[in-house]
């Protein structure tokens, strides 16, 4: 598995940091040797649907991470599905490319 | 072309770009069977109003014919719209809210949703109070299941609407 992966972003929940139809390059190994930090933008698995989502870590509660969209009015995030474990974090967004 | 553009284009060509969602079904996590119930009450009310209309007699004036046709047309239109609204609201609840765990606990959900689709179509096709009442009753059952999945008790109570029929409300 390559450490770097590229994803196309569908939706506005991370605008303006990532626009709809933008791309994010993620590092899948970011959290192998260190723990996620508040403010990190991550690709994570939605705990209910398994769908990949891109969100920002807004708080850390013990071993769980609260994910929020920057654009809260258009975001389905930990307010709905609760905080997630580290296992659900696929990788940290390393670069944002393109978008509208 | 910028370097980032070249990276994206190359990755697209290689088919190695995944999709990640930053999407929301606005409003987030807000579902309520009340709207479907309101729509079903409206269908019933429109049928009541249609049945209350007295058709103009043979000696009616053109204005009386016009007013009668106008009134009936409006009631029909609202009946049609609200029957569709019943379907819309229940479809959203079915597709977006109910999850496999809910279905496991309430396996009748699918059957009830199909029944709403069928009865709401009949509500459009006909002016039939019995089917409209059946529509409301089926939506009540879905509303009770919805509140049960939320861990909220609900009760069926008499509404304050002119239909004088019941509504399922949460005991918050």
SS (H, E, C) B90-118: HHHHHHHHCCHHHHHHCCCHHHHHHHHHH
Of B146 and B7, the structure prediction assigns the larger pLDDT to B146
pLDDT at residue A9 tops 80: yes
Contact B136, B86 (CB under 8 A): no
- Three-state DSSP class for A94? strand
Mean pLDDT of B12-39: 78
Percentage of chain A exceeding pLDDT 70: 98
pLDDT of residue B27: 53
pLDDT of residue B10: 78
> CB-based contact (8 Å) between B5 and chain A?
yes
Return d(Cα B56, Cα B151) in angstroms, integer: 53
pLDDT of residue B101: 82
Identify which of A62, A20, A81, A69 has the alpha carbon closest to the alpha carbon of residue A43: A69
Mean pLDDT of A30-44: 94
Q: For residue A10, give the nearest of B5, B21, B28 by CB distance.
A: B21
Half-sphere exposure of A46 (CA within 13 A, CB side): 19
Q: How far is CA A30 from the centre of its chain?
A: 13
Return d(Cα B42, Cα B145) in angstroms, integer: 22
Among chain B residues, the shortest Cα distance to A56 is held by B22
Of A4 and B2, the structure prediction assigns the larger pLDDT to A4
> CB-based contact (8 Å) between B103 and chain A?
no
Q: Which of B15-24, B54-63, B111-120, B125-134 has the lowest mean pLDDT?
A: B15-24
pLDDT of residue A40: 96
pLDDT of residue B1: 59
Mean pLDDT of A30-49: 92
In this prediction, residue B24 has a pLDDT band, given cuts at 50, 70 and 90, of low
Instruction: Give me the sign of the Cα torsion angle A70, A72, A77, A83.
Output: positive
pLDDT of residue B15: 75
pTM for the model: 0.58
Return d(Cα A70, Cα A13) in angstroms, integer: 6
pLDDT of residue B82: 97
Mean pLDDT of B17-34: 74
pLDDT of residue A26: 94
| Mean pLDDT estimate for chain B | 90
Q: For residue B22, give the nearest of A6, A11, A25 by CB distance.
A: A11
- Three-state DSSP class for B153? coil
Measure the N-to-C terminal CA separation of chain B; round to a whole number of Å. 58
Write the Ramachandran bin of B47: left for phi over 0, alpha for psi from -120 to 50, otherwise beta. alpha
**Chain A partners of B4 at a C-beta cutoff of 8 Å?**
23, 95, 97-98
- pLDDT one-digit tens code per residue, B14-23: 777 888 877 6
A9 min Cα distance to partner chain B (Å):
5
Mean pLDDT of A94-100: 77
pLDDT of residue B107: 95
Task: Select from B11, B20, B21, B101 the residue whose CB has the most chain A CBs within 10 Å, as the one to mutate to test that interface.
Answer: B20
């Amino acid at each position: 598995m390559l450490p770097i992966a590229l994803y196309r972003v569908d939706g506005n929940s991370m605008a303006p940091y990532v626009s709809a139809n933008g791309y994010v390059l993620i590092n899948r190994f970011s959290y192998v040797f260190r723990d996620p930090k508040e403010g990190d933008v991550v690709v994570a698995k939605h705990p209910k649907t398994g769908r990949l989502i891109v969100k920002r870590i807004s708080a850390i509660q013990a071993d769980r991470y609260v994910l929020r969209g920057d654009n809260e009015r258009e975001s389905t995030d930990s307010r709905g599905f609760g905080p997630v474990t580290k296992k659900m974090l696929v990788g940290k967004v390393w670069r944002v490319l393109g978008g509208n | 072309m910028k370097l980032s553009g070249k990276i994206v284009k190359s990755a697209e060509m290689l088919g190695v770009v995944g999709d990640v969602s930053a999407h929301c079904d606005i409003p987030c996590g807000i579902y309520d069977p009340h709207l479907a119930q309101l729509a079903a009450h409206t269908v019933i009310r429109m049928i009541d109003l249609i049945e209350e209309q007295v058709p103009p007699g043979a000696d009616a004036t053109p204005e009386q014919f016009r007013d009668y046709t106008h009134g009936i047309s409006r009631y029909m239109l609202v009946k049609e719209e609200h029957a569709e609204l019943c379907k819309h609201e229940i479809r959203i609840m079915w597709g977006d809210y109910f999850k496999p765990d809910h279905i496991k606990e309430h396996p009748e959900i699918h059957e009830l949703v199909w029944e709403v689709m069928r009865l709401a179509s009949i509500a459009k096709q006909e002016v039939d109070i019995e089917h409209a009442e059946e529509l409301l009753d089926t939506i009540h059952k879905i509303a009770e299941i919805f509140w049960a999945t939320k861990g909220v008790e609900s009760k069926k109570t008499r509404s304050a609407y002119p239909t004088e029929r019941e509504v399922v409300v949460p005991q918050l």
